[in-house]
Structure 1
């Protein structure tokens, strides 16, 4: 590194000093750059390898870099899904003294993809709708904490696969403002910005031949409005019902949980007549299932992934008649007998393809399909072997997406079977039976 720079960060990684700050970002050498898919940005953004992980570096002005860094840190404290801000680098200059732009450094979100890379060839209608649904959920969460985005778009969002759906993360907070509470006008303004931007982004994909012909970009973009309003009403809307219908309180809570949200407080007011009750969720937060799974098993998963794993845990309880077992004991047993053996059975060279929770979710889907095709229950070991050989090894590595898709592997995969017994190899004792329990399909 030539010259001096100023680095502002909560915790400075010394490896930051080794990056070529004396060069404009566009001239950085290949050995400093990580090749990752990226979205459209008004600023130059490049990825770099740093201490065993990848960072995104965005050139901008020092004022905007400082503002966005502070905003991202604030959003993190509010538990909003967003990228992790690492540092601001200012006072950059070239070897001949030319002043260079400041940069914002954020940690690359592992297993995440920009919307253009979600499907490398064409974007199917159901995928396009899932992306918009995920963005609507993110926008609701931002508005609940009082954040006005000002530039809602697919390009300013990263997506992680979440059990067949997608979870959305805010990437660009440059235009955002944080208020105590947003007005209806501010929320509608953000919603309209998102609707117009999404339509434009999908039309751009369509012009490039990356959108299937039966997708209507305007119809898909209008979907964010409907999805957003449904979520907002469920999360913040007041509800009135007769005193005799108090069961509807539980029904409301269940609907919110089904949408992936939890409730911290309810305001229930009995009116003068004593015959009507009003319910108002005061403080809400996403992640009901992921928090429950983390508490029970220590597994940190996306919301839909967590819901799928918890459902599998419930199926395990029913399959082995463990209705009276303590929930925490059951979770420990399920993790030790089912989840962990499956993950251990994945060859080490393939474990970076997907997150463990996503691998397990996809395995359940694969096992169910095998059972439907064959008309019989499929042992867990057989399902794992089939999934590895026929599905997982052909996926791109979503941990970093550094390399492009490769040709199909030709070497056979030898599947470790420790901890997972097939029907033919299992003993007659109940422990072995439980270790290879069968998902009811």
Structure 2
């Protein structure tokens, strides 16, 4: 290693020192490279094995690397879904002392997939729609936090399965800017237009490569993010006016926000001078309503839709036990010990890298429902579990870290597209 590296990191992994920083990133040896599928990037990005996990290393300028590292850390403190910044490394030189580009190191998000890995031969309309919906929700969360992205696209986002939907995570914050006073309507509209144009371009690129379903219109799908964003923004931040006799609509508004996965920290309520109408407006909303409830009750950390599904099963368990007077936390501990943990322990060790435990549980519940429908009886969970492991889970590709085929072409099996595919196997 030539020269003296400068490493900026909150917690330095000693393994960083063992990487070949004296070589340009494009020349790094295959033994340290993790062949993961990645999106389109203006910078050279390589995935690298570091101890027991994988990191993404991006060559850029010192100023941009430091800025993006600080921005990602700030977004994490705001509880925004994004990749974990590991380090900024500068003062790189080769063996002859020639300066090399600084790099930003981020941790690869387990069980995540770039949009180009979410199809096999073609990207189906249902999958494209769910990706756009997930990106719209991420954009709303960013805007509520006062973050202007400036480069919204599918390529700058990672997606994780979330109980039949997808959860979106910001990957590239290089162009982003955080505003303490919030964003103007013009800034939000600018981000929306960037998203619409970029998504249309990305889907048209797939269409040119014959990897887009014939029924999918790239422009129509890209325009969906605008409609979905406006619906979410209106629901989360819009004022509402109604007659004083309809005060039940206050609770209804809160319930709708909770259904979207958001909590209300403060709700502004005022009446007019005549006392006949009521105005309400959520002042501060925060995402993760179901995730936080599940974490509080069981200690399980899951995606928002996964948490909603697990909580539904927990509520069903409580109802079937006919012990509504028993404390919720007691029932939750019992459900965890008697239902969830026995299922996760029953998964063979060689299959635990296929999906996250919460996603396995969600898919198992779906599998059991379809078995019961097909066979006209209530299939026991243990029987459904055996069938799910043998007919579904065993045939899935590992998603803890999706690896490219040796040819470098992304040709994943059809069961990776979405959960609807495996239902036909039941």
Distance in 2, Cα, partners of 1:161 & 1:399: 11
- Pairing 1:146–2:157 present: no
- Pairing 1:298–2:309 present: no
Q: Point out where structure 2 has 5 or more consecutive residues left out of the alignment.
A: 406-410, 414-426
User: Following superposition of structure 1 onto structure 2, how do residues 389-400 of structure 1 map, counting pairs within 5 Å?
Assistant: 389-400=390-401
Map of 2:117 onto structure 1: 117
Map of 2:36 onto structure 1: 36
User: Following superposition of structure 1 onto structure 2, how do residues 48-87 of structure 1 map, counting pairs within 5 Å?
Assistant: 48-87=48-87
- SS of equivalent residue, structure 1 residue 7: strand
User: Residues 202-246 of structure 1, C-alpha deviation per residue, up to 9 Å, x if partnerless?
Assistant: 111111121110000111001000100000001110011111111
Distance in 2, Cα, partners of 1:324 & 1:396: 44
- SS of equivalent residue, structure 1 residue 294: helix
Map of 1:15 onto structure 2: 15
Distance in 2, Cα, partners of 1:87 & 1:312: 41
User: Following superposition of structure 1 onto structure 2, how do residues 145-294 of structure 1 map, counting pairs within 5 Å?
Assistant: 145-180=145-180, 181-294=182-295
User: Residues 32-91 of structure 1, C-alpha deviation per residue, up to 9 Å, x if partnerless?
Assistant: 111111111010000111121111000001110011111111111111110010100001
Distance in 2, Cα, partners of 1:388 & 1:121: 25
Distance in 2, Cα, partners of 1:328 & 1:120: 43
Distance in 1, Cα, partners of 2:32 & 2:3: 18
- Pairing 1:324–2:321 present: no
Per the TM alignment, residue 2 of structure 1 is displaced from its structure 2 partner at its CA by 3.2
User: Residues 334-376 of structure 1, C-alpha deviation per residue, up to 9 Å, x if partnerless?
Assistant: 1111100010110011011110000000001111111111111
Map of 2:102 onto structure 1: 102
Distance in 2, Cα, partners of 1:82 & 1:355: 18
Q: Which moved more, 1:207-216 or 1:151-160?
A: 207-216
Distance in 1, Cα, partners of 2:3 & 2:373: 65
Map of 1:367 onto structure 2: 368
Q: Is the 8 A contact 2:239 2:280 kept in 1?
A: yes
Distance in 2, Cα, partners of 1:361 & 1:7: 41
Distance in 2, Cα, partners of 1:40 & 1:367: 39
Distance in 2, Cα, partners of 1:194 & 1:359: 32
Runs of 4+ in 1 over 6 A off after TM superposition: none
Map of 1:379 onto structure 2: 380
Map of 1:334 onto structure 2: 335
TM-score, normalising length: structure 1: 0.91
Q: Is the 8 A contact 2:120 2:412 kept in 1?
A: no
Q: Is the 8 A contact 2:265 2:284 kept in 1?
A: yes
Per the TM alignment, residue 322 of structure 1 is displaced from its structure 2 partner at its CA by 2.6
Per the TM alignment, residue 3 of structure 1 is displaced from its structure 2 partner at its CA by 2.8
- SS of equivalent residue, structure 2 residue 34: coil
Q: Which has the higher contact order (CA 8 A, sep 6+)?
A: 2
- SS of equivalent residue, structure 1 residue 43: coil
Q: Point out where structure 1 has 5 or more consecutive residues left out of the alignment.
A: 408-441
Q: Is the 8 A contact 2:37 2:404 kept in 1?
A: no
TM-score, normalising length: structure 2: 0.94
Map of 2:408 onto structure 1: none
Map of 2:3 onto structure 1: 3
Distance in 1, Cα, partners of 2:119 & 2:391: 19
Q: Is the 8 A contact 2:58 2:105 kept in 1?
A: yes
Distance in 1, Cα, partners of 2:64 & 2:83: 16
Distance in 2, Cα, partners of 1:31 & 1:381: 42
- SS of equivalent residue, structure 1 residue 222: helix
Map of 1:134 onto structure 2: 134
User: Residues 87-146 of structure 1, C-alpha deviation per residue, up to 9 Å, x if partnerless?
Assistant: 000011111122110000001000000000012322111110000000000000000011
Distance in 2, Cα, partners of 1:324 & 1:129: 42
Distance in 2, Cα, partners of 1:389 & 1:143: 44
Per the TM alignment, residue 406 of structure 1 is displaced from its structure 2 partner at its CA by 9.5
Q: Is the 8 A contact 2:200 2:221 kept in 1?
A: yes
- SS of equivalent residue, structure 2 residue 55: strand
- Pairing 1:88–2:85 present: no
